[in-house]
Amino acid sequence: MDERLVQRMVEWEREVVEQFLKKFPERKREFLTEEGVVVRRLYTPTDLESRGWDYVGSLGFPGSYPFTRGIYPTMYRGRPWTIRQYAGYGSAEDTNQRFKYLLSVGQTGLSMAFDLPTQLGLDPDNKLAWYEVGKVGVSMPSLLEMDIVFREIPMDRISTSMTINATAIEVLSMYVLVAESRGVPRSVLDGTIQNDILKEYIARKNYIYPPEPSMRYSTDAIIFCAKEMPRWNSISISGYHFEEAGATPAMEVAFTLADAVEYVRWVVERGKISVDVFAPRLSFFFASRTNLFEQVAKFRAARRMWAKIMRDRFNAKDLRSMMLRFHTQTAGVMLTAQQPEVNIIRTTIQALAAILGGTQSLHVNSYDEALSLPSEEAVKLSIRVQQVLLYESGVVDTVDPLGGSYYVEWLTDEVEERAWRIIDHIDRLGGMLRAIELGYPQSEIARAAYEYQVRVDRGEIPIIGVNMFAEPEVPKVKVLKVDPEVRRRVVDRLGKLRSDRDLLKVLNALDGVRKAAENLEVNIFPYVLEAIRCKATLGEVSNVLREVWGEWRAPETV
């Protein structure tokens, strides 16, 4: 402990601060982060020393264990993050057009949104799907649609991320088959499937089957990719949806990493493969909120924790297994419908937090998204925000520019400590699958969401345009609407597919899927791939799996 510093600090508080406060009191008795951490007036090396912080142990160097400062030695000096806006709506033609537009204004990777029927294994002619076809993403009942989405898009050169979970294998099969029909082998395909079913039970709610068979499904996809698609991220373990549902930053980190631990366990056990065979292709997905420093601390803490988990818990030897590579999306829940232009300022700060936190890929929400799907102009602005940060701001010129900030380092340690406490609790419950069955993460998130909203109501959490500086009218923004003709178009094409195919081959392939689903010893992926190749639809494959595995109805509590 630097005695001189401690002494000077005591003097400063007594002689300078106290005098100053008499004239100019602080605005609040207590300053809190969103986590509820009490923020001190000033941080000095003493705060770090008292936590046992040391440069080499806590930070090390970028590209080296524990990766606190970033996963690459040169970070954005060498390799900018991928500008990747989540997009997709209506029919395959609409989505193809939006993808080409995004690429034309400077997007560097694709991220594909699927409609709810596709995510829930329902074909667009299913009555339950009726109103939802093409609404929150593109309708994808068969490989014909995938072929149209990627017309004139170079599948060998662009990376594609797909937000697909309960039907991830069906959809990835379509992507692989379309690429292969164009002469692009699966071994060179670059992209990601979300394939994170655990977070569906906790927060996102797009599950089909009960947790156990769903974990087998997800695990089979990871194992298949490890063997046949070396450049494909076989899972994107997601904290974003926890944050959107109400989780605090420490909860977001802890629940995500606890999910990751569960997946690693399953793959090692089921695949009988060593962690270093598949862990380098595990990827992550987090939210970025406006509370800048706490978000940066969150990303840095998550990176350090994952490195420790992989090295110490799973005995990984390959450094790439210990690297937390992640995509970030700015927090949708922080967008306001009131004074929507203000959202551009919010998302800029959120994007900055993600970059200062070392993200590999970024989606910036559009300012009109509290009202509807984003318009072309709004999405272009989101891309421009990223380009200004990358090319004009200079924040990318050095690695981890906030590293060494007394406050940020202290807060990184604080978020990490809180997240470990939650992970320890989940370990005691018997792991994440068990914790989910007990409703633990669900109830923690619901509690946090309610407490947050009560504080917004009380004005303790200020939201410009909502509980502060509000204006009487919600402005009428021109919103994007999905063409109601979309369903007819997609259903027509589905009818054509069904009449054009060799039904006997389809039925045989679906029978193969059924037998594979019944037999725990085999990987289900190749069987689904074969069925999709024979032009089975997404809904047909899902129905077979439903018959074998059953459907999940979660107990609902408030």
Partner 1 sequence: MSTYVTEVRQLSGRRFRVLIAKLGLDGHDRGAKVIARALRDAGFEVVYLGVHQTPDDVVRAAVEEDVSVIGISILSGSHLELVQDVVKLLRERGLNIPVVVGGIIPPEDADVLRGLGVYEVCGPGTLLRDVVEIFKRAVTV
Which residues contact partner 1 (rule: CB under 8 A)?
Answer: 116-117, 119-120, 122, 128-132, 135-136, 200, 204-206, 244-246, 333, 335-338, 370-373, 446, 449-450, 453-454, 456-457, 463, 465-467, 474, 476-477, 479, 482, 554, 556-558
Q: What 3-state DSSP class applies to 90?
A: strand
Q: Which 8-state DSSP code applies to residue 328?
A: E
Token code pair at residue 513: 């899927």
| Gap between the Cα atoms of 290 and 41, Å rounded | 20
Token code pair at residue 498: 């069904």
Nearer to partner 1, 22 or 458 (CB): 458
Nearer to partner 1, 117 or 211 (CB): 117
Residues 6+ apart with CB under 8 A from 536: 506, 509, 510
Our CA angle for 355, 307, 203, nearest 5°, is 70
> Are the beta carbons of 357 and 296 closer than 8 angstroms?
yes
Nearest residue to 418 via CA among 238, 290, 253, 246: 253
- In the complex, what is the shortest distance from the CB of residue 341 to partner 1, in angstroms, rounded to a whole number? 15
Q: Compute φ and ψ for 398, nearest 5 degrees.
A: -130, 160
- In the complex, what is the shortest distance from the CB of residue 538 to partner 1, in angstroms, rounded to a whole number? 14
Token code pair at residue 383: 């891309």
- In the complex, what is the shortest distance from the CB of residue 553 to partner 1, in angstroms, rounded to a whole number? 9
Token code pair at residue 258: 């606890």
> Are the beta carbons of 189 and 155 closer than 8 angstroms?
yes
- In the complex, what is the shortest distance from the CB of residue 198 to partner 1, in angstroms, rounded to a whole number? 14
- In the complex, what is the shortest distance from the CB of residue 391 to partner 1, in angstroms, rounded to a whole number? 33
User: Is 392 buried (19+), middle (13-18) or exposed (0-12) by CB count in 10 A?
Assistant: exposed
- In the complex, what is the shortest distance from the CB of residue 119 to partner 1, in angstroms, rounded to a whole number? 8
Token code pair at residue 15: 């002689």
Nearer to partner 1, 204 or 300 (CB): 204
Nearer to partner 1, 4 or 127 (CB): 127
- In the complex, what is the shortest distance from the CB of residue 103 to partner 1, in angstroms, rounded to a whole number? 25
Q: Is the dihedral of CA 483, 165, 155, 376 positive or negative?
A: positive
Nearer to partner 1, 8 or 447 (CB): 447
- In the complex, what is the shortest distance from the CB of residue 203 to partner 1, in angstroms, rounded to a whole number? 8
> Are the beta carbons of 534 and 142 closer than 8 angstroms?
no
Nearer to partner 1, 373 or 422 (CB): 373
Residue with tokens 């009218």: 473
> Are the beta carbons of 63 and 70 closer than 8 angstroms?
yes
Nearest residue to 221 via CA among 212, 209, 205, 233: 233
Nearer to partner 1, 122 or 316 (CB): 122
What is the number of residues in the chain? Answer: 558
Q: What 3-state DSSP class applies to 554?
A: coil
> Are the beta carbons of 486 and 134 closer than 8 angstroms?
yes
- In the complex, what is the shortest distance from the CB of residue 396 to partner 1, in angstroms, rounded to a whole number? 33
Token code pair at residue 232: 């494909």
- In the complex, what is the shortest distance from the CB of residue 368 to partner 1, in angstroms, rounded to a whole number? 9
- In the complex, what is the shortest distance from the CB of residue 312 to partner 1, in angstroms, rounded to a whole number? 34
Nearest residue to 138 via CA among 91, 99, 103: 91
- In the complex, what is the shortest distance from the CB of residue 399 to partner 1, in angstroms, rounded to a whole number? 36
| Gap between the Cα atoms of 540 and 499, Å rounded | 15
Nearer to partner 1, 359 or 375 (CB): 375
> Are the beta carbons of 223 and 274 closer than 8 angstroms?
no
| Gap between the Cα atoms of 306 and 46, Å rounded | 27
Nearer to partner 1, 522 or 554 (CB): 554
| Gap between the Cα atoms of 554 and 368, Å rounded | 33
- Sheet containing strand 326-330, edge to edge, reads 82-83, 361-363, 326-330, 282-288, 235-238
Token code pair at residue 557: 């509590």
> Are the beta carbons of 88 and 374 closer than 8 angstroms?
no
Our CA angle for 315, 317, 322, nearest 5°, is 85
